[in-house]
Structure 1
Amino acid sequence: MRAEVEERGHWGSKVEFLLAVAGNVVGLGNVWRFPYLCYKNGGDDCVDFSIKNASVPWTNQTNSTSAATEFWERRVLAISGGIEEIGSIRWEVMLCAIAMWITCYFCIWKGVKSTGKVVYFTATFPYVMLLILLIRGLTLPGALQGVKFYLLPEPSRLTDPQVWMEAGSQIFFSYSVGVGCLTVLGSYNKYNNNCYKDCLWLCLLNSGTSIVAGFAVFSVLGFMAHEQGVPIAEVAESGPGLAFIAYPQAVAMMPLPQLWSICFFVMVILLGLDTQFVSMEAVMTSVIDMFPDVMRRTGRREMFLLFFCLICFFCQLVMITEGGMYVFQMMDYYACNGGCILFLCVFETLALGWIFGAERLYGIIKDMTGVNASPFFKICWLYFTPLVSLGSFIYSLVEYQPLTFNRWYVYPDWVYVLGWLLALSSVLLVPGCALYKLITGTGTLRQRFHHLCQPDIENLPTQKQEGNNSLLPADVKEQNDHLILNS
């Protein structure tokens, strides 16, 4: 007997949706990237844009290098001399990776039914840890100096285009713009969900978390600089260095360092876990929606998710070797580059504003929420957002700098070629797919192009699909009929 196609499903409650989005947008970048960018680019100018042991292991120093640096780079990662020296797999790190993938699997294996329950813990507990670290950090000597360096504005930096580029990239990454996660999570809402209110509160939550995390981080770094008698610039780092070197080294100087270390790393783990399984859900939902008759059957989702996790894990193995950090930095710099997201956002905004139609989108939002969107949104959809995205993308190409590791290691030329191929592998999928559809379509070239520029109106979600009688407003239906007749 053939298995029945399962329903797509909805969130169990509005709280589950909000926590899932919060868990996705509030991630590691809020803790280790945003505070450093604020300090680097002139304080709040960047904000305007948007177990008991005798000691913790990274305090036992055996050479002139920082103890935390030695522990992280030599004991945990055992970093080799270069990407050519890939070395052996670090089994401790591999076991951690296995544990995380197993956790992610069971977090989303039943779709939003399981994800919606997990986020009650994974999305809220980091805030408890952050609050504890904030209170502790602000009570340390030298904390005020750290906060001062974090917030001290430098108005002259506003004339530097690089500041605006970094602020814009942080906004794209922090809010998960253009990568599909928010679209997927929102697709499990009821038709009449108030997206306005959701956007407002989640944006405030994300930005507020970044600012508060900056206070928590730089108050501790200020204490570290105070204890060592050095400027805070010498202890402030960005990226993984802030989370795994600078902050742990500062924590080691506090009373009860084990307690504060546990709080910090539990927070980091949960922030990363949330972002990872929500990103996985975006991929799963996309594939299942493309092949619903095949994938929405009993056991199919679980089997495909297992296959997906295994593929990701085996691809990850090269990054948990002795030379894996070099590979990780290359992937982060090229494959996860902000320019790639900007390029995709250009196509997304053009498709939304010009092909799907700003007027049609405007009418659908009114039908869903019961209120008219601001006319300014139309200007953004049609002109402002695609032009800003395109301009930022071009600027990122003009200002491109080859990747280096820790400011001293220069990658071989073949790595740069591989990096650009990784970047192109993501950005060329959109125009490549369009070209494929254009070539394989029927009719003349003009007819095929015209057909590809028409939205699939018949499959738009409506209130009627959820038991109500009203469909799209009359003006939108009239516009749809007009477009169909003209096509």
Structure 2
Amino acid sequence: METSSSAIEMEEHHEGENGKDLGQASDAAVHNGKMEPAEENPDSSDITESTRPIFIMDEPIEEPSATCCGCGEENKERGNWTCQCEMILTSIGWAAGLGQLWRFPMLCFRHGGGFLAVWLVMHIVLGFPLVLLEMTLGQFTSQGPPRAWRGVPLLHGVGFAVVVMMSILAIYQNTSMAYILHYLFVGSLRDLPHMVRCDNYWNTMECNDYGLTNMTGCREVAGFMWYDDSTGHWQNYTQCPTKSAPEEYWRNYLLQQSDGLETMGAVQPGLAGFLFLSWLMVFLVLAFGIKSAGKVAYLTTTIPFVLLVFLLFRAMSLDGAVEGLIYHVTPVPYAGFDRTDLWVDAVMQVIYSLGVGCGCYTTLSSYNRFHNNTVRDAVLVVFANILVGMLCLCMSAGFLGFLGKQLNEPIENLVSSGPHLVFVVFPRVLGLLPASYLWSILFYLTLLLLAFSCQFVIVETIVTSLLDLFPSGNNGTGGLCNRRMLLHLLLTFTSCILFFLLGLPLVTQGGLYLYNLLDTFVASGFVILPILLLKSIGISWFYAINRWGRDLSHMLQYSCCYCCNKLVTVVCQVCWCLPIPLYLVGCLLWTSLLWPNEVYFESYKYSDGHVIMGWLIVGVELAPIPLVAIINCCLACCVKGRTIIRPPADWGPYLQQHHRGKRRGKVLSQPHIPPKPTIMVVDSTVTSL
């Protein structure tokens, strides 16, 4: 009988010591469910020609998913997305966060229309390759960042550094949700009329509801008396008031802001309650793992798009909206393409808006099926991020143009970023609109969903990374209440409670100063840029770009448009090797050179001790990288067979069926995957062993 049709071609997915392919092992046989060399089988000499098996199969030859969206459970132990659409929507929700509204319009105003062109180019040459790198790493290994980076032992600490950074980020990032929840349920439904007036008990004599520089309004109130509660005397207006009514609502009523970080003050009960509610929402979404998060993504990702479109149409229908949009996109005469700060700001905005370097794409894609089309997912995420950025820019520019015309103020006096934009400027805009309650609810609901879609991805990244550190094979299977699910529930509950308690200082009277300090240092360029630089260098130089290219080809071999995907991955490999590291090094040097000697929040100057605390946080985030490298170097010297460059023998695809051969004489199999019954075909008789 002919045996050519039953031959199995073994292809090795890692290179040997001298770069040759060590996976071309001939005369392989199956023994106890594992591939072993034929000469090592003690019973091979007893098999005669008449009884020699013609075809032996331990695992069926893998086939692509039966459906285009990759539905179905492939990894029974770890679990997969119910449908690939959920992973794409969750990734888009992570990318399209608050940063697109908090920071992007202000950068367009600062640099003019030229910034848009550079921003789009950076999405293609920098953002897309980095998103694809993180996605493919997670999908190839089916592990969170710490376990996924075992493939480069010298840089194994990058995965742990990401977890430390995300843990600190989760603590203060959820404070934004507490602010938004207050403005949604209290500000929009009850306080909106009072928020834009200066006759409330929290207002001071500096309150101005006419405009910052509107001299007509100043003359109208000139000579009016003002009763100052702090002094107990009536006072006259002597100059134009300098604080808007929404700003005093934000600082004096909601935050009851203290004089500085030295005076933290008491916890604000209302904000503490909303902070607890926000963490409760995160826990409920992640309680049942990635599957429940995927279902929530249908709402948290699609609804903001719809609401942004509604708000955009409303903004562009207002008087002065077109002027505001033109003002934002008109090139600034002195902001040419030769300005370094324009390129650096564009790179940093792409990094922050896409959320690369945080390990979230690695975590989300670790629940993909092995042969999922990752290139398609990365393209959709980057395109959606660009779309959200343009919607936020046009909406913000339209509303600011309308506000400037209503108050007779230059737009440059109204442009701001961060919490000041959404909690001070926008309430002023919304208060001038007809049906202001409705538009205020829609606006802050959009912000809430954008923030929430980011927050539960951050916590899922932390929980998945910790969960993957447990020994494989002990998680068990069995549906909703398997052991891994119970561990996930326990870790999620513990993380949410701990982060809530650690976040209470942020809702004190001095919490805004602490919030700004953490926002300045935790996810700064001094943390994100080195992590991204090491990721690019680790894959392209330490792991070897040719080896990673073969891994990607093996993983994407069943995807649609394989030739196009192959071309895209080759271009991205070129970007990972040289252009992206050069961009990141240039941005890091530029950030270091221009970093101010003193750190300010508005007019408040942080003390040297506070700045040292910020740098200590940066050091704690980056400390796992050298520490783990030193540990792996010591192990490489003490343990035979260990190396700091090549991946360990058990690193690779999570499932045994997805491995591509052997390396160093060891079978690349996962001991926690039970072998299937061996099927032997002997003389046209099927026997199950």
TM-score by length of 2: 0.65
Which residue type is aligned with residue 405 of structure 1?
A: F
For the Cα contact (< 8 Å) 2:192–2:437, is it kept in 1? yes
Are residues 481 and 234 of structure 1, via their aligned partners in 2, closer, same or farther at CA, if it must alter by over 3 Å? same
Cα distance, 1:170–1:67 mapped onto 2, change above 3 Å = same
Q: Per-residue CA shift, 1:353-407, capped at 9, x if unaligned? A: 122221111112222223324433222222222232222222211111232111x
Matching residue within 316, 323, 329 for 1:151: 329
Q: 1:207 aligns with which of 371, 380, 386?
A: 386
SS of match in other structure, 1:9? coil
Q: State whether residues 6 and 298 of structure 1, in contact with CA within 8 Å, keep that contact through their aligned partners in structure 2.
A: no
Residue 416 (structure 1) aligns with: 611
Displacement of 1:229? 0.6
Matched positions, count: 467
1:343 equivalenced with 2:559 (yes/no): no
Q: Are positions 1:160 and 2:347 aligned together?
A: no
Structure 2 counterpart of 1:74: 252
CA 1:298–1:233: 2 relative to 1, 3 Å = closer
Per-residue displacement from partner, 1:302-352 (whole Å, max 9, x unpaired)? 111111111111111111100000000000001121231001111111221
Q: Report the equivalent of 2:282.
A: 104
Determine the C-alpha separation between the residues in 2 that align with 1:355 and 1:127. 41
Q: Show the counterpart of 2:82.
A: 12
1:314 matched to 2:501? The reply is: yes
CA pair 299-378 structure 1, distance change in 2 beyond 3 A: closer
Letter in 2 for 1:291: F
What code does the residue aligned with 2:193 have?
A: V
More strand, by proportion: 2
Unaligned runs of at least 5 residues, structure 1: none
Displacement, 1:44?
4.5
CA contact 1:72–1:244 (8 Å) conserved in 2: yes
The corresponding residue for 1:59 is: 196
The offset of 1:438, in angstroms, is 2.0
The 3-state SS of whatever aligns with 1:88 is coil
Larger radius of gyration: 2
For 1:291 and 1:238, how far apart are their aligned partners in 2? 42
CA deviation after TM superposition for structure 1 residue 160, in Å: 2.2
For the structure 1 residues 55 and 347, does the alpha-carbon distance in structure 2 shift closer, same or farther, using more than 3 Å as the test?
closer
The correspondence for 1:453, drawn from 615, 621, 645, is 645
Within 2, Cα distance between the matches of 1:373 and 1:456?
Answer: 29
- Give the match for residue 404 of structure 1: 600
Mapping for residues 51-450 of structure 1, pairs under 5 Å? 55-61=192-198, 62=203, 63=207, 64=241, 65-154=243-332, 156-157=334-335, 158-293=337-472, 296-297=483-484, 299-370=486-557, 371=562, 372-374=566-568, 375-401=570-596, 402-406=598-602, 408-443=603-638
How much does 1:13 deviate?
Answer: 0.5
1:451-474 alpha-carbon deviations (Å, 9 max, x no partner): 0111135431178637xxxx54xx
CA distances 1:428-452 after superposition (whole Å, capped 9, x unpaired): 22122212322355439xx89x701
Aligned ranges for residues 33-52 of structure 1 at < 5 Å?
33-50=103-120
- Residue 281 of structure 1: SS of its match in structure 2? helix
How far apart, in 2, do the equivalents of 1:152 and 1:120 lie?
36
User: CA RMSD for the aligned pairs?
Assistant: 2.4
Amino acid corresponding to residue 361 of structure 1 in structure 2? W
Write the distance in 2 (CA, Å) between the matches of 1:359 and 1:110.
39
Q: TM-score with structure 1 length normalisation?
A: 0.90
**CA distance in structure 2 between the aligned counterparts of 1:380 and 1:43, rounded to whole angstroms:** 26
SS in 2 for 1:123: helix
CA distance change for structure 1 residues 312 and 270 in 2, over 3 Å: closer, same or farther?
same
User: Contact 2:192/2:427 (CA < 8 Å) preserved in 1?
Assistant: no
Structure 1 stretches of 4+ moved >6 Å: 51-54
Aligned-pair CA distance for 1:43: 2.8
Query: 1:465 is matched with which residue?
Result: 657
In 2, Cα distance between the equivalents of 1:292 and 1:210? 42
Deviates more, 1:285-294 or 1:33-42: 285-294
Q: Distance in 2 between matches of 1:171 and 1:420?
A: 24
The CA distance in 2 between the partners of 1:268 and 1:297, in whole Å, is: 33
Q: Residue 359 and residue 155 in structure 1: after superposition, are their counterparts in 2 closer, same or farther (change >3 A)?
A: farther
1:159 partner SS: coil
The one of the two structures with greater contact order (alpha-carbon pairs below 8 A, sep at least 6) is 2
Distance 1:463 1:443 in 2: 30
How far apart in 2 are the matches of 1:427 and 1:125?
37
- Which protein is richer in helix relative to its size? 1
CA shift for structure 1 position 74? 1.1
Evaluate the alpha carbon distance shift between residue 301 and residue 55 of structure 1 in structure 2; reply closer, same or farther with a 3 A threshold: closer
Distance 1:346 1:314, change over 3 A: same
Measured in 2, the distance between the counterparts of 1:17 and 1:330 equals 33
What fraction of aligned residue pairs are identical, expressed as a percent? Answer: 27
Contact 1:6–1:297 (Cα < 8 Å) also in 2: no
Q: Are the counterparts in 2 of residues 109 and 301 from structure 1 also a CA contact under 8 Å? A: yes
For 1:364 and 1:440, how far apart are their aligned partners in 2? Answer: 27
Residues of 1 paired with 2:604 and 2:108: CA distance?
26
- Give the match's secondary structure for 2:256: coil
Mapped to 1, the partners of 2:444 and 2:605 lie a distance apart of 31
Residues 363-372 or 270-279, more deviating: 363-372
Contact 1:59 1:68 in 2 (8 A): yes
Q: Distance in 1 between matches of 2:377 and 2:581?
A: 24
Contact 1:25 1:175 in 2 (8 A): yes
Structure 2 residue ranges without an equivalent (≥5): 1-74, 121-187, 208-240, 476-482, 668-689
Report which stretch shifted further, 160-169 or 68-77: 160-169
> Does structure 2 retain, via aligned residues, the 8 Å contact 1:46–1:163?
no
Does structure 2 conserve the Cα–Cα contact (< 8 Å) formed by 1:362 and 1:373? no
CA gap of 1:49–1:311, structure 2 versus 1, over 3 A, is same
Query: What is the CA distance between 1:103 and its match in structure 2?
Result: 0.3
